[in-house]
A and B are shown apart, each in its own frame.
Chain A
Amino acid sequence: MSDSEKFTKTADLLLEIGSLLMISGANTSRINRSIDRFSSALNFSVHSWIHQKTIIMTLTDNDTKMSATKVYNLPPHAINFKTISEISKASWKAIREGWTIDQIATEIERIKSLDRYSNLVVLIAVSFAVAGFCKIFNGDYLNMTVAFISAFMGLFVSQQIHKKHYNIYIRIFLASLTASLVASVGIIYNIGTNPQTALATSILFLIPGVPLINSFTDLLENNILNGLARFAVGAMIVLAIATGLFLAMYIFSINLS
């Protein structure tokens, strides 16, 4: 393999690993550490600038001291912790067993082909999670049923819109609107002891937990730009959720507090 081919192949692979981790919801220092492990197994040293939509990376061959720089644009984010876990395990194995570039590429292909939970399983699990939230906020079992149904409808709308590749904030706004419209019915017919709780919790499945946690993790580790970018994404999502809820409350003239 000629030098330039080797550089191209290594750079593409490392960029793909970084991109997979970023879109799956890993924090910035974890991405840097994973890339470092893979590159040290391949006898390269790497410096990179990682951001929400772009990765810039300079590789230096430890033997020849030649270097190359590449820029890579990331696909849309989709949180996937199985990918994070598998890449982390692969990175340790690559160092320990001294993997070649082809072995790493095969492993990354395998990780990319791993399946997700089916939409129905996710719908049911998330609806139970929302019912749980309703319980935490002092709802009774009738309220929890209302919250369950609202979240189910909301997430169903979200999944259908996701298939059509709409803008993420439009998707979240419509999901929040659907869930809160359904939950508002519970308030109008006064179902359960605390129908307001069902409305207030029915949209919590949309909460940007991963961007917000990663945001503060990045800020704590001095990846300030990424931390701020993630916080902005989280804030935009919260704005979309609140707008949907506000509209539903406006339509039914409900006052939560």
Chain B
Amino acid sequence: MTDLIFHLLEVSFWSGIAAVGFGILFNVPRKTIFTIFALGFLAGLIKFSILQFEHHIALASLAAASFVGWVSIPIAHKIHHPPVVFSIPTMIPMIPGYFAYETILSIMNFVFIETDPEKRLLLIDAMFSHGFKMIYVLIGLTFGVALPLLVMNKGSIKQLGGAPS
């Protein structure tokens, strides 16, 4: 049990680092870097904990992204930056990049390399499962982070509570 918790914390810590790395690539304002790390860490913790209970990765991503969406509201009012600036870098470690290129790799193996019919069937299976997993995870992420605005029926987080900044 302690091992498991330690492992979750370690993996979440590195998710936070990954989020910050992408934040710097996207040239985020310096003031938001700590926020991005903290959100990346917490989102990672939620995602990996849910995966630990063997739920689907799209569900785990939805949960983590909607967490980011909800806490973005008070944070955006507090640090005076629009939520995309810290919510998108936070979600980058959760982007299904692995599924994305694995889909293409399966297609390329299918077209250029594999001749054995049995293995070609496995490759078709891989194309579909990886490809659609990628799409569902992306839907989970974008829907999750947009959830507060959709529920409150508003276009901008600035219109949601808090003193005007």
Contacts and interface: CB of A to CB of B under 8 A. Distances in A.
B19 to A, nearest CB: 8
A203 B81 CA distance: 30
Contact of B84 (A30, A121, A137): A30
Nearest to A121: B24
A79 B93 contact: no
B117 interface: no
Interface stretch (A49-57, A125-133, A163-171): A125-133
Interface residues of B, number: 51
A245 to B, nearest CB: 6
B158 interface: yes
Nearest to B12: A136
B6 interface: no
Most chain A CB atoms below 10 A, which of B91, B103, B104? B104
A242 B105 contact: yes
Contacts, number: 156
A251 interface: no
A72 interface: no
A233 interface: no
A246 B21 CA distance: 26
Nearest to A237: B100
A128 B146 contact: no
Interface in A18-39: 25-27, 29-30, 33
A46 to B, nearest CB: 16
A222 to B, nearest CB: 13
Given A122-B25, A207-B92, A129 B85 contact: no
Contacts of B146: 217, 220
Interface in B77-106: 80-82, 84-85, 88-89, 91-93, 95, 97-98, 100-101, 103-105
Contacts of B139: 216
B70 interface: no
A9 interface: no
B91 A209 contact: yes
A30 B87 CA distance: 14
Contacts of B98: 137, 200-201, 204
Interface stretch (A59-67, A80-88, A102-110, A187-195): A80-88
A133 B18 contact: yes
Given A29-B155, A217-B146, A209 B92 contact: yes
A interface, size bucket = 35 or more
Contacts of B101: 203, 238, 241-242, 245
B132 interface: no
Contacts of B143: 216, 220
B82 A245 contact: no
Contacts of A122: 24-25
Given A131-B14, A213-B88, A242-B104, A82 B97 contact: no
Most chain B CB atoms below 10 A, which of A130, A205, A209, A217? A209
Contacts of A136: 11, 14-15, 18, 44, 93
Most chain B CB atoms below 10 A, which of A201, A212, A217, A245? A212
B121 interface: no
B68 to A, nearest CB: 12
B108 interface: yes
B28 A207 contact: no
